[in-house]
């Protein structure tokens, strides 16, 4: 059962073949058995999950009308506030903090009776591409435990690939949903910026952050997308418009007559041969399914990475200022006679990890008077140019595609001391965040040279998220008939028995 898709589980629940309590318990058992190897979770909320599951079962027994995913368990990235449940963002500075409120995403999950199993590991404050920057130790990729599961949402993606949960929530600032999905053989979507409320999402970079759905199939992802999306008065940047019809698109998977634009700049040099091979193969399958493949050019993408590493650190330097030991979280050095300033300094010194400090310093510098125009100001101009590139490209194609990342999962520790090499991993995912459009990664197969999963990225215009689901569903179906079984059936057996 735990290897089924979320929709299959939902239908088993609806048919009365299993209760939510039993389904939740199966997942809790699986976590107990494999998570010591994978370390996808930072906190397992056994009691809360079972309580929620039994409430859903009771509602079902009473014949109440339930949402499509009611009773299905989910893994929640530890960057979203959940009332009463520890929320650390992978940082020591928030150790022990239990939010007194629910984020809007969590409120919507609860309203949809989706059972929250616990909080998943992540790079500290979502800064990283490997989950190695978690203050609580790295997460391991279920495909090869010596490799990274991507980041920052490595815990959420790994929990799906390890069959610890059929659904997960991630957040994506520069690729933190899509890159982990790519390297774990799972599906992840960054919705249009403003499509899902950021209220209760602990901010890394406010203008780039976006929560989104993760799952093992395109349809499951779409179902979860509709459950968490929609306008929220508590988030001023939330878009006040109907939620795109992503479930319908995922069910139809129709790409006949669609124009699919291959972004010239997001391929070629620096992309692993196996990554390129799988990408070409996917394009052929989409062409066979009736889509027209065209090439588009986005010349300013070249500057996206540089601009991103000015904007995101700038915003983070300000967003993370609130962690000052005054009201919540860690407090260090509060001994007789210490001033507030000394306590703030010591707490931040001890509480933040190296990558977080690096970015705070970078951002503080970029915003400083005298440097602002050259750094933050120029980066904003690049951002506008990137958006214009997308706008122009979308006049030639309905969606744009690229490999999700240049390589498959690298070894834990391999790039820890080379931040630039680490940053390059997000070269294909970052433009999407810069322009606020939607992006999806789904598995396109395994690289011949290392047998590891490769991701295929689909990008759709603002609030046209349904398009990437149509294309994703079409490609998923074509690949499935080619492979005969879902890609995750090839994940090696982990410690426990299934």
Partner 1 sequence: MSLTYEDVIAKYEPVLGLEVHVELNTNSKMFCGCSTIFGAEPNTQTCPVCLALPGALPVVNEKAIESTIKIGLALNCSIAPFSRFARKNYFYPDMPKNFQISQYDEPICVNGYVDVEIETDEGPKKFRVEVERVHMEEDTGKSLHVGGATGRIHGAEYSLLDYNRAGIPLVEIVTKIVPGTGKYAPEVAKAYVAELRDILRSLGVSDVKMEQGSLRCDANVSLRLIGVEKLGTRSETKNVNSLRSVERAVRGEMIRHAELLNKGERVVQETRHFQEESGLTRSGRSKEQAEDYRYFPEPDLVPVEPDAKWIEELRAQLPERPSVHRKRLQEEWSVPDKEMAAMINADLLDTVEATVILGSDPTKARSWWLGEISRIANEQNVSVKELAITPTDVAEIVALVAKGELTDKLARQVVEGVIAGEGKPAAVISARGIKVVNDDSALMAAIEKACAEQPETAEKVRNGHLPAAGALIGAIMKETKGQADAARVRELLLSFLGQA
* Region near partner 1 per CB under 8 A, out of 246-254, 314-322, 417-425, 428-436: 314-322
Catalytic residue among 152, 238, 317, 441: 152
| Residue 328 near partner 1 by CB under 8 A | yes
Phi, psi at residue 346, to the nearest 5°?
Answer: -65, -40
Q: Does 153 bind partner 1 (CB under 8 A)?
A: no
Nearest to 80, CA basis, from 223, 212, 191: 212
CB of 309 to partner 1, least distance (A): 16
- Choose among 425, 424, 422: nearest CA to 413: 422
How far, rounded to the nearest angstrom, does the alpha carbon of residue 364 sit from its chain's CA centroid?
26
Cis peptide before 15 (omega within 30 of 0): no
Q: How far apart are the first and last CA of the chain?
A: 9
Q: How far is the CB of 1 from partner 1 (least distance, A)?
A: 34
Q: Indicate whether 296 belongs to the interface with partner 1 (CB under 8 A).
A: no
Position among 376, 394, 423, 469 found at the interface with partner 1 (CB under 8 A): 376
The Cα–Cα gap between 36 and 119 comes to 15
101, 137, 270, 480: which one binds partner 1 (CB under 8 A): 101
Instruction: Establish if 193 lies at the interface with partner 1 (CB under 8 A).
Output: no
Report the alpha-carbon distance of residue 366 to residue 362 in Å, rounded: 6
- From residue 220 to residue 249, the character string flagging contacts with partner 1 as x (rule: CB under 8 A) and all else as - is -------------xxxxx------------
- 321 touches partner 1 (CB under 8 A): yes
C-beta closer to partner 1: residue 97 or 394: 97
Residue 197 designated active-site: no
Question: Interacting stretch for partner 1, rule CB under 8 A, among 70-78, 86-94, 288-296, 486-494?
Answer: 86-94
Distances from the Cα of 445 to the Cαs of 161, 268, 455, in angstroms?
14, 18, 8
Give catalytic status of residue 152 as yes or no: yes
Q: Is 481 a catalytic residue?
A: no
Is the four-CA dihedral 380, 381, 387, 390 of positive or negative sign?
Answer: negative
How far is residue 400's CA from residue 471's CA, in Å, rounded to a whole number? 10
Name the token pair of 481. 């008939």
CA-closest candidate to residue 402, choices 419, 379, 378, 427: 427
Indicate the residue among 94 and 428 with the shorter CB distance to partner 1. Answer: 94
Find the shortest distance in angstroms from Cβ 227 to partner 1. 19
Of 421, 419, 420, 439, the residue nearest 429 (C-alpha): 439
| Residue 340 makes contact with partner 1 by CB under 8 A | yes
408 DSSP 8-state letter: S
What is the smallest separation between the CB atom of 23 and partner 1, expressed in angstroms? 29
* Nearest distance from C-beta of residue 246 to partner 1, angstroms: 24
Identify which of residues 342 and 450 has a Cβ nearer to partner 1 in the complex: 342
Q: Which is nearer to partner 1, 233 or 248 (CB)?
A: 233
Name the minimum Å distance from CB 498 to partner 1. 36
Minimum Å gap between C-beta 318 and partner 1 is 5
For position 89 contacting partner 1 by CB under 8 A, the verdict is yes
Alpha carbon separation from 204 to 108, 235, 311, 378 (Å, rounded):
22, 15, 11, 20
DSSP string across 112-126? TT-EEEEEE--SGGG
List, by residue number, the catalytic residues. Answer: 77, 152, 176
Q: Under the rule (CB under 8 A), what is the footprint of partner 1? A: 80-81, 87, 89, 94, 97, 99-101, 103, 198-203, 205-207, 233-237, 314-315, 317-318, 321-324, 326-328, 340-341, 344, 364, 367-369, 372, 376
């Amino acid at each position: 059962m735990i290897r089924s898709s979320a929709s299959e589980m939902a239908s088993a629940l609806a048919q009365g073949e299993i209760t939510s309590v039993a389904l939740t318990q199966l997942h809790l058992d699986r976590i107990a058995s494999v998570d010591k190897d994978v370390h996808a979770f930072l906190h397992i909320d056994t009691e809360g999950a079972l309580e929620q599951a039994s409430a859903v079962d009771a509602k079902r027994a009473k014949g109440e009308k339930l949402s499509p995913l009611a009773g299905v368990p989910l893994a929640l990235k530890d960057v979203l506030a959940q009332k009463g449940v520890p929320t650390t963002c992978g940082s020591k500075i928030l150790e022990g903090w239990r939010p007194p409120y629910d984020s809007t995403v969590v409120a919507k999950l609860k309203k949809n009776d989706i059972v929250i199993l616990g909080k998943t590991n992540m790079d500290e404050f979502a800064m990283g591409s490997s989950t190695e920057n978690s203050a609580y130790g790295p997460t391991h990729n279920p495909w090869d435990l010596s490799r990274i599961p991507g980041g920052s949402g490595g815990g959420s993606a790994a929990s799906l690939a390890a069959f610890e949960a059929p659904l997960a929530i991630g957040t994506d600032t520069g690729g933190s949903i899509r890159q982990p999905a790519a390297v774990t053989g799972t599906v992840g979507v960054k919705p249009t910026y403003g499509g899902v409320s950021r209220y209760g999402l602990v901010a890394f970079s406010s203008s780039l952050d976006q929560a989104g759905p993760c799952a093992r199939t395109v349809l499951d992802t779409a179902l979860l997308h509709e459950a968490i999306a929609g306008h929220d008065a508590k988030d001023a940047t939330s878009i006040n418009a109907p939620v795109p019809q992503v479930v319908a698109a995922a069910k139809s998977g129709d790409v006949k007559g669609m124009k699919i634009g291959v972004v010239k700049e997001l391929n070629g040099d620096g992309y692993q041969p196996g990554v390129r091979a799988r990408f070409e193969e996917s394009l052929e399958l989409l062409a066979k399914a009736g889509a027209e493949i065209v090439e588009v050019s986005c010349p300013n993408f070249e500057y996206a990475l540089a601009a991103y590493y000015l904007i995101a650190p700038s915003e983070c330097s300000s967003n993370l200022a609130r962690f000052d030991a005054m009201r919540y979280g860690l407090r260090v050095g509060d001994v007789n006679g210490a001033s507030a300033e000394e306590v703030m300094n010591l707490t931040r010194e001890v509480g933040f990890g190296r990558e977080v400090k690096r970015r705070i310093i970078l951002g503080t510098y970029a915003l400083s008077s005298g440097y602002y125009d050259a750094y933050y100001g120029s980066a904003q101009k690049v951002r506008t140019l990137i958006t214009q590139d997308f706008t122009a490209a979308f006049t030639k194609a309905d969606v744009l595609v690229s490999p999700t990342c240049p390589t498959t999962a690298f070894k834990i520790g391999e790039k820890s001391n080379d931040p630039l090499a680490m940053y390059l991993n997000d070269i294909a995912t970052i433009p999407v965040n810069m322009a606020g459009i939607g992006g999806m990664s789904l598995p396109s197969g395994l690289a011949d040279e290392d047998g590891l999963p490769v991701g295929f990225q689909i990008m759709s215009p603002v609030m046209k998220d349904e398009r990437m689901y149509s294309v994703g569903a079409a490609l998923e179906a074509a690949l499935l008939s080619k492979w005969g079984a879902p890609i995750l059936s090839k994940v090696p057996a982990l410690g426990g028995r299934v």
